[in-house]
Amino acid sequence: MKIKAKWYSWIIGTLLTAAIVLVQGVKKLNLAQSQLPCQVKEENTANPYSKDAEIDRAVGEEMCAQKLYGLGIGIVKDGKIIYLKGYGYEDLENKIPVQGKKTMFRWASLSKSVTGVAAVREVFAGNLDLDADVRKYVPEYKFPATYAYPLENGKFEIRRLPDSPKPLITTRMLLSHTSGIKNFSNGPSKAGTPPENLVNDPNVNTGIFWAGKYFWDDPNHLLYIPGTKDSYSVYGYTLAGMVIERAGERKTYWEKVRDGIAVPLGMTPADFPDRPGAGYQSGSFFLPDYEWVNIPRRAVGYRYDKETGTYKNSGSVDVSWRVPAAGFISTVENLAQYCNGLMNREDVVSAKMKEDFLWKGSQLSDGTYISASMGFSMGEADGRRRIGAIGGQQKTATRLGMYPDEGLCFVVMTNSEWANIDEVFNVLEKAYRNKKLPMNGE
């Protein structure tokens, strides 16, 4: 009996070992057979113009080369969205694929172009003077008596602003990054950003005016004499949003964007509230990225950790406090609708608005031309006039490029922070332009 018991033990042990080996082998097989994010593409899409093999192949190859997790692309031509598609995963861990009409990506600095459009709409409504002192609209803004001039050794020299001519900051300066206001980390102190534990709390974070005091209470938030140098500033654009809110009709910045831009272009339903409460459930459409709102298809963001050489979840911190600069979120379809509206909807953005303000560039006080203003950059690509905008922040990288003389626009959004978004854009454009036959719907 003892011998038999030993045999039973041996047999059971052997079977358990074999079972473990078999399970491990199946896991390895499944891992080997599982698709990389760049091999996943949206299927059964309602958009009939998203089954182009040449574009799919080019986009997939670039995604593989950059190891991107999720991507949404769109092409607009002559007033129609002719291509719209998701690739990879909006949530890698749960294997939720990107969908062009559903997945929500942060806009990052593409939001600035919306602020530029909103400002010019107020100008044409007779409500806003771009060259007036911003304190005409936002008297609580604390204009300093000094500026902290950056030195070559990384230090700063506190200098008094001149008495004559007396400097001032205008909305035009805010929208062209020539106000002299610092950004997050290029000043003598990092003061200016509300604490993370406060921005995620809707009972504390009441919007852009609440956040304003965090930068303007810093006496060293000005780096240059206004108008003398271009220097990128999220805070400057947030202040511009306050000006827009106070100009003319008493609506919040978001209400003016929603009612004047997003709703007419089909990007947002008209009944979406000005400020939804905690737990409010949103659909997939353009809105401020309130951290406390339940956005079911909000893309998970990913970043590359140089120290460990691994890719990690980015986490999520509210950006609605700086929505005029970098706080919107939407589907890639919404971004394509926006691009289409910029080119083709005279009732929302007229040709005069674009040529005289939005797509004109700006100047420093010494006459130096700046090829960026109102959230847009102006330039050429292969002899074609191109109007662009780009964004990058926690959870996202984005790009929009318009060829208004051709009625053509490309949009790209990803949840992979390390993306070379310019290269993705270039690959998409090249794949489209190199096609031998026109796409469906053109």
Q: What is the CATH number of the domain that holds 373?
A: 3.40.710.10
CA dihedral 147, 152, 155, 158 (to 10 degrees): -20
Q: Tell me, yes or no, whether 187 lies in a domain.
A: yes
Between vectors from CA 398 to CA 340 and to CA 239, what angle results, nearest 5°? 85
Domain count, the chain: 1
Residue 441 has what pLDDT?
46
Query: Using CB atoms within 10 A of its CB, is residue 107 exposed (0-12), middle (13-18) or buried (19+)?
Result: buried
| Per-residue exposure over 302-337, b if at least 16 CB sit within 10 Å of its own CB, e if not | bbeeeeeeebeebeebbbbbbbbbbbbbbbbbbbbb
Calculate helix-pair angle for 234-246, 111-124, nearest 10 degrees: 30
Residue 70 lies in a domain: no
pLDDT of 334 over the 50 cut? yes
* Domain assignment of residue 161, given as a range: 105-433
pLDDT in tens, 138-188: 999 999 999 999 999 999 999 999 999 999 999 999 999 999 999 999 999
State the pLDDT at residue 5: 43
Give me the pLDDT at residue 438, please: 60
Percent share of the chain, pLDDT over 90: 85
Does residue 67 form part of some domain?
Answer: no
Residue 346 lies in a domain: yes
Quote the pLDDT of residue 437.
59
Q: Where do the DSSP E strands lie in 92-132?
A: 96-97, 105-106
Question: 48 lies in a domain?
Answer: no
| 43 found inside a domain | no
Can you tell me the distance from the alpha carbon of 311 to that of 305, in angstroms, rounded to the nearest whole number?
6
The pTM for the full model equals 0.91
Average pLDDT over residues 64-83: 96
What is the predicted pLDDT for the residue at 53? 86
At residue 317, the pLDDT reads 95
Q: What percentage of residues in the chain have a pLDDT greater than 70?
A: 89
Measure the CA–CA gap between 442 and 438, rounded to whole angstroms: 6
Predicted local distance difference test score (pLDDT) of residue 7: 40
- Residue 64: what pLDDT? 97
| pLDDT reading at 28 higher than 50 | no
- Residue 69 placed within a domain: no
**Would you say residue 31 lies in a domain?**
no
Please state the φ and ψ torsions of residue 234, each to the nearest 5 degrees.
-65, -40
Residue 50 in this model has a pLDDT that exceeds 80: no
If you average pLDDT over residues 231-247, what whole number do you get? 98
Mean pLDDT of the residues in the chain: 91
Confidence of residue 34 (pLDDT cuts 50, 70, 90): low
Please determine, for residue 52, whether its predicted confidence score (pLDDT) is greater than 80.
yes
pLDDT of residue 201: 94
Predicted confidence at residue 190, as pLDDT, reads 84
Q: How confident is the model at residue 51 (pLDDT cuts 50, 70, 90)?
A: confident
Question: Looking at residue 324, what is its pLDDT?
Answer: 98
Strand partners, 344: none
